[in-house]
């Protein structure tokens, strides 16, 4: 993201949802708390460069360790805070009004031990979930119901329609990653077919921007921030994802995909053949992120099996896996731990998860021990393969589901060959089932409806407003504990105060011509620490070091950078 130039008007609120546009980030709130709650500090002689400070902002490739509380009571208090933080960050607090799940299920096709059908339904009004439903074809005894599994897919090319090349297929077979050409062609279909043959109902649904879910394009969902993908101009009063307005309203792809997961769960719960107490979820890579996020906030999942995503290292390689505030003071291992005490399976491959055996899994084991069920969390270590959800990785997942659902199958459970389908056989759209509206105009309309709906709920409830602000300000309270201020320096009628970290790092500069407690005092955020501008009589100038990530947006196009566009 390009560094934004100094702006003269007040910055828009990052958290416009809660009814204010005065401050840009909770960091600035922490600074002001520091001004009011700390003792005056002496001017440091040699300030520590921010890059060397332990308080420097993390990027997605930082280290995100999980410190396990010493008691179950302490963890459950922390877990409550984390879930609330997640809901706020994902735009799910207050929850927008969801569409009634009225699935269209068509074009049933029976194959060897399973059937596959095409499914679509609304999630948010106008926004559709699309996918393939796999069901066992064996008889079901009267009064019995089947377990079910949700399968989000991750960043495989074209998602649910993934069909690999001849060269890649041969490579997967030659390395022992796969046993059959069909699975080497589509490891995504392979796991769905196998679980259906085990007696499980499986819903394999599209990540936004993939396969049939193209109302918002793949370039916008997964590629925003690349040189060729940016927000076009839209009509006055309209806005798009990644804009300052969308981020301020906490409208993001990660939240929409999580809502799609919850609505997909509702779809399964509606089915008369599904046991509501035996539903799990598993996905790899970006699908792994969707797995542990959905399980963390939705207690109706009996367990979860996120693959090649839970680690203390890289935290999510795409805009579709990230949201404002989601990982502030937390990380993927702790977020996955929110599944406890329900069974959880994690793994390691030769990627960012490779150190889980010594950094991540022991902490999960300790946490589950607080509940007296240390063996309810399992770990599969296969670092001789790269980033994958191959047969070697799928086999322990089948065992996990076998035990979770009480299927009584002999382990290890190995796959059989199957008939792999191509996109033309799997698409849910045809002449009788036409594609819904999509594109830029659809996106602006979706966000506008979402904003109006949520704003009305916020306006109507002081409890929602208070809870929302409390959640947003919690990181600021943490920041404030690490900050102090220098002695005030006055030249003429302008008072200047420097804000520093405990290790002497420069954080910000505050200039004012009035006492900080003056009623009606306005705050103007800046990114130029060396500004010579003089504040007006009714305002405070607060310049925050850009290294903290406070790049102020100058337009509706400039707020978001794709954290890892090459992975998308």
Q: How far is CA 467 from the centre of its chain?
A: 21
Q: How far apart are CA 265 and CA 171, in angstroms?
A: 35
Please, which pLDDT band fits residue 546 given cuts at 50, 70 and 90?
very low
Report yes or no: 17 and 249 within 8 Å, Cβ to Cβ. Answer: yes
Task: Look up residue 486 and give its DSSP letter.
Answer: E
Q: Which of 387, 380, 389, 427 is nearest to 183 (CA)?
A: 389
> 296 by DSSP, 3-state: which?
helix
- What digits encode the pLDDT tens for the residues 190-220? 999 999 999 999 999 999 999 999 999 999 9
* Residue among 205, 175, 180 at smallest CA distance from 192: 205
Mean pLDDT for 497-508 is 74
- Per residue in 27-38, pLDDT (tens digit) is 455 555 555 544
Q: Structure pTM?
A: 0.85
What sign has the CA pseudo-torsion 514, 32, 88, 233? Answer: positive
User: pLDDT (tens digit, 9 = 90+) per residue, 49-87?
Assistant: 444 455 556 678 889 999 999 999 999 999 999 999 999
Instruction: For 212-228, write each residue's pLDDT tens digit.
Output: 999 999 999 998 877 77
What is the C-alpha separation between 225 and 44, in angstroms, rounded?
Answer: 38
Cα separation values, 280 from 125, 256, 559, Å: 26, 20, 36
C-alpha separations of 201 from 36, 400, 406 in Å = 57, 16, 15
Question: What distance in Å separates the CA atoms of residue 560 and residue 176, rounded to the nearest whole number?
Answer: 41
Residue 543 has pLDDT above 70, yes or no: yes
Average pLDDT for 284-301: 98
């Amino acid at each position: 993201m390009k560094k934004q130039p100094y702006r003269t008007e007040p910055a828009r609120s990052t958290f416009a949802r809660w009814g204010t546009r005065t401050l840009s980030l909770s960091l600035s709130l922490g600074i002001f708390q520091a001004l009011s709650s700390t003792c005056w500090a002496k001017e440091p002689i040699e300030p520590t460069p921010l890059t060397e400070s332990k308080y420097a902002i993390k990027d997605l490739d930082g280290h995100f360790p999980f410190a396990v509380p010493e008691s179950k009571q302490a963890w459950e208090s922390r877990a409550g805070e984390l879930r609330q933080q997640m809901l706020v960050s994902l735009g799910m607090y207050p929850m927008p009004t969801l569409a009634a799940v009225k699935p269209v299920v068509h074009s049933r096709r029976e194959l060897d031990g399973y059937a596959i059908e095409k499914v679509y339904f609304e999630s948010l009004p106008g926004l559709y979930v699309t996918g393939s439903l796999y069901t066992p074809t064996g008889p079901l005894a009267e009064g019995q119901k089947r377990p079910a599994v949700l399968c989000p897919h991750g960043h495989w090319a074209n998602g649910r329609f993934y069909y690999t090349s001849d060269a890649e297929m041969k490579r997967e077979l030659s390395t022992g990653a796969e046993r059959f050409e069909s699975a080497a062609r589509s490891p995504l279909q392979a796991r769905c077919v196998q679980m259906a043959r085990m007696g499980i109902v499986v819903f394999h649904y599209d990540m936004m921007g993939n396969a049939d879910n193209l109302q918002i394009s793949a370039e916008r969902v997964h590629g925003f921030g690349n040189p060729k993908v940016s927000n076009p101009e839209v009509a006055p009063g309209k806005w798009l994802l990644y804009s300052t307005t969308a981020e301020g309203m906490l409208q993001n792809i990660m939240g929409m995909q999580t809502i799609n997961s919850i609505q997909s769960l509702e779809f399964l719960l509606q089915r008369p053949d599904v046991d509501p107490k035996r539903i799990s979820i598993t996905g790899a890579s970006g699908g792994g992120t969707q797995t542990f996020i959905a399980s963390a906030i939705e207690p109706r999942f009996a367990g979860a099996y996120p693959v090649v995503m839970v680690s203390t290292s890289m935290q999510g390689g795409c805009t579709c896996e990230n949201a404002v505030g989601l990982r502030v003071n937390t990380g993927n291992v702790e977020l996955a731990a929110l599944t406890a005490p329900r069974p959880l399976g994690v793994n390691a491959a030769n990627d960012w998860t490779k150190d889980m055996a010594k950094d991540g899994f022991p902490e999960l084991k300790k946490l589950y021990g607080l509940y007296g069920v240390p063996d309810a969390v399992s770990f599969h270590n296969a670092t001789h393969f790269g980033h994958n959800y191959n047969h070697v990785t799928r086999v322990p997942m089948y065992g996990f589901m076998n035990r979770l659902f009480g299927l009584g199958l002999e382990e290890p459970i190995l796959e059989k060959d199957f008939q792999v389908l191509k996109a033309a056989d799997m698409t849910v759209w045809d002449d009788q089932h036409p594609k819904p509206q999509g594109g830029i105009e659809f996106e602006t309309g979706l966000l506008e409806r979402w904003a109006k709906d949520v704003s009305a709920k916020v306006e109507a409830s002081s409890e929602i407003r208070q809870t929302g602000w409390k959640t947003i300000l919690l990181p600021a309270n943490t920041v404030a504990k690490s900050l102090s201020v220098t002695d005030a320096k006055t030249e003429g009628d302008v008072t200047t105060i420097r804000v520093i970290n405990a290790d002497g790092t420069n954080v910000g500069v505050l200039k004012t011509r009035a006492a900080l407690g003056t009623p009606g005092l306005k705050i103007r955020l800046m990114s130029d620490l060396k500004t010579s501008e003089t504040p007006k009589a009714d305002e405070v100038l607060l310049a925050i070091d850009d290294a903290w990530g406070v790049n102020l947006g100058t337009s509706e196009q400039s707020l978001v950078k794709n954290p890892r566009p090459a992975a998308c």
